[in-house]
Structure formats: C-alpha cells, structure tokens
Amino acid sequence: MAKRLTIDPITRLEGHGKIEIFLDEEGDVKRAYFQVPELRGFEAFCVGRPAEEMPRITPKICGVCPTAHHICSTKALDDLFKVEPMPAAKKIRELMYSAFMLEDHTLHFFFLGGPDFVVGPSAPPAERNILGVISRVGLEIAGKVIKLRKECRDIITLIGGRVIHPVCGLPGGISKPLSEDDRLRIIEVAKSGVEFARFALKIFDDVVLKNPEYLDFVTGDIYKHETYYMGLVDKANKINFYDGDIRISMPDGKEFAKFRARDYLEYIGEHVEPWSYIKFPYLRSVGWKGFVDGKDSGIYRVAPLARLNVSEGMATSLAQDEYEKMYETLGGKPVHNTLAFHWARLIEALYAAERLLELAQDKEITDSRVRNIPTAVPEEGIGVVEAPRGTLFHHYKTDRNGILTEVNLIVATLNNSAALCMSVEKAARSLIKKGKVSDGLLNMVEMAFRAYDPCLACATHCLSSKPSFLIKIIDSKGEVIRTFG
C-alpha cells in the first residue's frame, strides 16, 4: 500500500515550495521532503556589475523583505568602500528597518501563520486565511492591522524613496536627512505601533495560550528540535536587528561562538542535496551529520525564537517583560519548540515598535549630515542584518574598479533550510499513521514550516516564470467572470 502524498504548492509562505511524503507498506511515513524546486541563481548574474548597484539589484530578490536586502547590501558597501556612515544616517537606516520589522512580523502573524490558530488548524482551507481571521476577530481589528501596516509602509516609503524596493542607502550613509515634521509624525506612528504590538500579544495569549489544545501543540514533541541557534546581539548581548556581533548558542543554551560578520565563513559551511535547489548551511566545526538535531549535529536555527534564545534579553522594557513571560511559561531557556517562533515573533514586533519610538524621539536623527564620502579603493565587503526570517549576509568581492567578481548571499531562510526539512518530516511522522490522512492533518504538517515564516523566493533567490495557482473571480450567480494565472 506504499503511497506518495504531495502538497504542491504549499501555502501561506513567501515563495514556492512543495512537500513530498512517502508512506511505507503499513501506511506510516517512511520519508518526508520539504522541497524547493526552483532556482534563479541571483549571485551569478550580479557578477560583472558595479558593486554600488547592489542595494538596488538585490532587493528585487523579494517583494516581502526587500528592505532587509537593501540595508544589508548598503552595509556591505560601507565595508567594501571602508566608509563609516554618519551617526544620523545609521539612526535613519535603523528607524526604517524597525518599521519594516514591525510591518513584516504583523504580516506573518495575521496573514500567514495566525490563521492556523485563530481559525483553527483543521478548519476548511477556504477559511484558513486572512479573510477567516477577519471573520473571527472582526472588521475593527482587521482595520487596525491594515492601518498599522500601511503606516509602517509609509515610513519606509518616506525614507526609502519607494513603497516596495527602497533606494535610499548609499555607502557611507543615506540619500536624504529626516525632517523635524516627519520625525514628529513617526513618533505618533511608533506609539500606536507599541499599542498594536501589545494588542497582538494579547490576541496570542487569548487564542493560543489559553487554549489547552493549542498550548499542547506549542509545548509538545511534534514540533520540537534541540538545535544550535544563531542571531545578532549588541554589546550587552541583547537582540539587535541592525548591527552587532553574531552569537551562536548550543542546544543546552550555553554560548558556542561569538564573532564578527567578517568571519562568517569560518563558522558556516553549506551542504547540498540532489533533491532540492536550496542549500543547507551548518556549523563547520560541528559538521554536517544529516537531518538530525542534537549537540553533535551542525544544524542551527535562526529567526525570532533563535534570536531570543541566543540573546540575554530585549533592549526595550516592554519587550523584555514579554521575553521573561515567554521563558517562564515555556520552562526556561532555551526554548526548542518550533511553534514558539510565533510567540517570539510578536515579542520582536513589540521590540521593533519600541525601538522605532526610541529612534524617532532622538532629536539627533534630524541632523542634516547623513553621508560620508567614500575614499578607499574597493576590494571586499560583508554586510549582515537580522531579517525577519533570520540572519542575512551579503558578501561582495570586486576588482580595483569596483566591478563585482564574487557574490555570496546567505539569505535568512537558507539558514533554517535543514531545520525546515527536519520539522516537516517529524510532523509528518507524528501525525500520519496507518495511512490515515486528512486535509487538517496535512495542514498541521504545513504548520511545521510556517512557524519559521520561510521566504523561499529569497532562499533560492527565485522568481518563477509561471504562477503556481489560479485566482478566479466568481459572480453572485456562481459564474467565473475572470481568471488570473
């Protein structure tokens, strides 16, 4: 009775992927694969271009997290041209980045991951989406979500120059200063952002933590892996999205390594499998041991829960309170439960809103000196930021004319690629028994990857030439009046 189950396309993620589940003669799961079947090869066609074009080229990898690529690329150019940005420029970059993190984390909770909890993991697929969330939480709350995201996008547009793909970053600074009027306006948005993030945490508390069934999912073994973790921290080992050192913690929570972005290749290797276009990064000194967790396997995880696990707290007070509550509820550090990524993401959203407010309240941010002139001959530059989905590296090498000769992008989701496979396979093995499969069970397998908020467009730097789904508009008589895709 051997059987093959395919979920294609998987849904509520950025990019495209599929899951293949192979059952044995008993109907139990023999193997399950989380596959990324498309490749664009972004690094290859960047070679030969002027390095200074990279902050405008690389954001096109993705329509969801272009701000992360833009800022990371700009930081790589700071390093390449050996120029230190002016203090106000750094603050404006981080301010825009904080608005981006708040907006992006909100997107995931309400549009992508949240429907599994708010509507229910086994609810009909037609309801397990943002419209289902709206029907449960009400139009007023839905309006708040949309308003907050718009206001954050307006900040990104104001500073970045464009609504989707920013163009403001320059080696040594930023293209224009922030006006006093805009600073005051951003303060108001940030204040409402703080309130909104607290409200989102309350929804998580009400919907997930107070529901014994969901709490069992979060704390149970189906969605759990003991791995290493990686994330950026500041000098006090607090979470920082924009800058700092990279810290890796062991499965028992102890510090494994702390290093500068420049040294990342000493720590991270990349493994390749024939069945996926995505690569599998691992810790070099521990080694690649296959898709297994534990101290002896070099697989590590990134993104919200990983960042909280590697840090010694949040740099803002309200987020710190929530950080302490999470670890107290889940039994202390580190937390290995994959579904706790959702909780950590909302704590980070609160931190992003508080940081946005801090930066907007800093009057020095309106200093008109926002650009340092680069003077050095370019050779090699490395930039790093914490993207919503994890640690993002841009690494460029150029000739003496600043023309790119080598490009390496370790994109946030890529760091989680091995963990994604492990999580999907473990969930499939735990949930599918004796050939009994339902739509709800398959969605619960998908929940294993959705917690990571993967962006497979970024991870393979991929843009499919054809859509993987159809959109039909049906009139009141049930007739299809228009089809897209």
User: Measured on CA atoms in the order 100, 105, 106, 111, is the torsion positive or negative?
Assistant: positive
Smallest distance from the beta carbon of 401 to another protein, in angstroms?
Answer: 5
Which residue, 177 or 378, is less far from another protein as judged by CB?
Answer: 378
**Do 299 and 293 form a contact (C-beta atoms < 8 A)?**
yes
Strand locations in 56-153 (E): none
The least CB distance from residue 249 to another protein, in Å, is: 39
Q: Which two tokens stand for residue 15?
A: 């990019």
Report in angstroms how near the CB of residue 94 gets to another protein at its nearest: 20
Q: Which two tokens stand for residue 473?
A: 């508009």
Closer to another protein at the Cβ: 115 or 402? 402
Phi, psi of 52 (to 5 degrees): -65, -10
Q: How far is the CB of 288 from another protein (least distance, A)?
A: 39
Gap between the Cα atoms of 21 and 424, Å rounded: 9
The length of the chain in residues reads 485
Q: Cβ of residue 382: shortest distance to another protein, in angstroms?
A: 18
Nearer to another protein, 37 or 378 (CB): 378
CB nearer to another protein: pick between 166 and 244: 166
Query: What is residue 453's DSSP assignment?
Result: -
| Angle at which helices 417-431 and 439-450 cross, to 10° | 150
Angle at 440 between CA 139 and CA 31, to 5 degrees: 135
Give me the residues that bind another protein (CB under 8 A), please: 50, 52, 81, 170-172, 175, 371, 373-378, 400-402
The distance of closest approach from Cβ of residue 445 to another protein in the complex, given in angstroms and rounded to an integer, is: 48
Nearer to another protein, 170 or 248 (CB): 170
Distance CA 221, CA 244 (A): 33
**Separation of alpha carbons 55 and 40, rounded Å:** 18
* Comparison of 77 and 421: residue with beta carbon closer to another protein: 77
Dist CA 317 CA 308 (whole Å) = 15
